[in-house]
Amino acid sequence: MAKLSEKCNIQVPMEVLKWVGLIDDGKNPDEFTRDVLNGCIAKNQVTKGKTDAFKGLRKHLLEELEQAFPDEVESYREIRASAA
């Protein structure tokens, strides 16, 4: 067992180790899973909000650029369409 442990390099997140202690105290391990999933959902919503904000910014910039530089924006859109 000692020989195998030298070859095994597994890193366990501290959060999991904290929950092992809580399980020993009678807590439900499903609570850990629920907490992790809720954290992931919250981070996903924040990321989606940022992505949507950048999409809105891109749309607004293109509208403004189209008013100032219509020929260049048309060329840009043609290039984007051919690349897609």
> What angle (nearest 5°) sits at the alpha carbon of residue 26, between those of residues 13 and 15?
10
Strand, coil or helix: 27: coil
pLDDT in tens, 6-62: 778 888 788 877 777 777 787 787 888 898 899 999 999 999 999 999 999 999 999
Average pLDDT over residues 59-68: 97
Domain assignment present for 44? yes
| pLDDT for the residue numbered 29 | 79
SS3 28: coil
Domain contains 39: yes
pLDDT at 1 over 80: no
- For residue 68, tell me if it sits in a domain: yes
**pLDDT recorded at residue 27:** 78
Task: Count how many domains the chain has.
Answer: 1
The answer to the question of residue 18 being in a domain is yes
